[in-house]
Amino acid sequence: MFAKISRNSVNSFPTSMLLATARRSAATQPSRRVLRTTRNFTVLAFESSADDTCAAVVTSSREILSNVVIKQHDLHEGYGGIHPMIAIEAHQRNLPIAVKRALKEANVSVAKDIDGIAFTRGPGIGGCLSVGSNAAKTLAAALDLPIVGVHHMQAHALTPLLTSWPNPPKFPFLTLLVSGGHTLLLLATSLTSFRILATTPDESIGRSFDKVSRMLGLKWTAFGPGAALEQFAGQQWDADLPDIGNFPRPLRGKLGFSYASLHSFVERCIAAKQGIQNIDEGFKLALARGFQTAAVAHLEEKLLLAFEWCAQNKIHVQDVVVSGGVASNSYLRERLAECLKTVDTTVPISLSFPPPSLCTDNAVMIAWASMHRFLARDHDEYTIGLRPKWSIEELSS
Ligand code: ATP
Ligand code: FE
């Protein structure tokens, strides 16, 4: 039953996690299914919190047996953002296809090989979350399987514990979560304890990338508007670029993010020329590069401030994890690596990014974030509700 085709296997689940699991499990009543295994637990996971319909099969031995993502960018391009009703309908259409494909690619039988089902419980768009959650619960009830509802941002944050094996980040570590709905700088002290050191009161970095990409009239690539901006900004250009002035540096010296003023700066530059139709390619490129540089510099400044905060509070941090869709940006990856070289420490800081395909939304991260709970036999009731708004700090309470 647990003999699996070994694909993408990285190694077994950390022993410390299994021991913690065994200790906690003594207190809880295991389901019939969970009793069948401790070492190699296989999770089928669903993710449908925003505009990607995802299903994946992952084992506790770190095997990613399948990872299916059905994107909806083409459906939302005309609306300038995620249209909730269209996203819900697309999830309803696509989820059965994604699940079927995930099981087929993993070469597993849902009745015989799956030990637990995980889904995104929040945060996200309520109607979108409910598609994945209802499917997960109904399938689990029919098969008598345990379920775990996962926090989407915790899943982004824990991905490097799966993908950076055999050298995963060690707690406590700093985490930058840069995505479509969030810009968070966190101190992670355990799998479930996250302290927010900085967040944004206005707009996320991802939305800001999306807005600037749209303002510049860039064609969305298969990976969406942010990736289109990165591609455009990275093009070869031998001529001099025009001077567009200096981007603002919001909340200078403070542990907090603000991205609205960066895209407003681009908006004002375009308005000063009476519209994008009057802007030549060189000016457009200067705006795209200027924005990307300012957006990433904002992260660099706050990351260094977080290290100062840790030093003041005598918290010894040696690892930084960066995840979420914007973490797939290669300019950001290069800049953050450079920035961390300037931190005053005896040992170099280790920086972990998931591979780009696991930075944007996927169900592998949902499966992985559920694993410690399944192994601890700490699963949810089938009646568990959704949390469309859910602070990551509440996980530890
Ligand atoms: P959240 O995780 O906060 O709920 P989300 O799930 O919608 O939001 P993700 O899928 O994690 O967000 O990330 C999507 C965001 O990442 C979008 O704003 C997208 O434009 C941005 N993004 C993706 N690739 C890149 C890139 N190469 N450069 C910059 N931004 C990018
Ligand atoms: Fe996300």
pLDDT tens by residue, 183-237: 999 999 999 999 999 999 999 999 999 999 999 999 877 778 899 999 999 999 9
pLDDT-derived band at 38 (thresholds 50, 70, 90) equals: very low
CA 164 – ligand 1 centroid, Å: 21
Domain boundaries, the chain: 15-165+360-396, 173-317+325-356
Can you give the pLDDT at residue 79? 66
Residues with CB under 5 A from ligand 2 (ion): 179, 361
CA 20 – ligand 2 centroid, Å: 28
Domains 15-165+360-396 and 173-317+325-356 share a fold: yes
pLDDT-derived band at 379 (thresholds 50, 70, 90) equals: very high
pLDDT-derived band at 76 (thresholds 50, 70, 90) equals: low
Mean pLDDT across the stretch 312-337?
Answer: 97
Ligand 1 environment, Cβ below 6 A: 49-50, 124, 152, 156, 179-182, 206-207, 209-210, 223-227, 230, 324-326, 328-329, 360-361
Atom of ligand 1 nearest to the CA of 52: 10
Mean pLDDT across the stretch 280-290?
Answer: 97
State whether CATH 3.40.50.300 applies to domain 15-165+360-396.
no
pLDDT at 156 over 60: yes
pLDDT-derived band at 17 (thresholds 50, 70, 90) equals: very low
Can you give the pLDDT at residue 371? 98
State the architecture of 173-317+325-356 in CATH terms: 2-Layer Sandwich (3.30)
Residue 193 CA, chain-centre distance (Å), reads 17
CA 365 – ligand 2 centroid, Å: 10
Q: Which residue, by CA, sits nearest to atom 2 of ligand 1? A: 179
pLDDT at 246 over 90: yes
Mean pLDDT across the stretch 59-77?
Answer: 88
Choose which residue among 67, 69, 72, 209 to substitute to test ligand 1 binding: the one with the highest number of ligand atoms within 8 A of its C-beta: 209
Q: Any idea which ligand is nearest the CA of 359? A: 1
Task: Centre a 10 Å sphere on the Cβ of residue 273 and count the other Cβ atoms it contains.
Answer: 12
Calculate what percentage of the chain has a pLDDT beyond 70: 88
Can you give the pLDDT at residue 215? 94
Can you give the pLDDT at residue 9? 38
Q: Which residue, by CA, sits nearest to atom 5 of ligand 1? A: 180
Can you give the pLDDT at residue 347? 87
Can you give the pLDDT at residue 250? 96
Query: Model's pTM, two decimal places?
Result: 0.89
Choose which residue among 179, 215, 332, 391 to substitute to test ligand 1 binding: the one with the highest number of ligand atoms within 8 A of its C-beta: 179
CA 32 – ligand 1 centroid, Å: 39
At which residue do the structure tokens 């289109």 appear?
228
Atom of ligand 1 nearest to the CA of 359: 11
Q: Which residue, by CA, sits nearest to atom 20 of ligand 1? A: 226
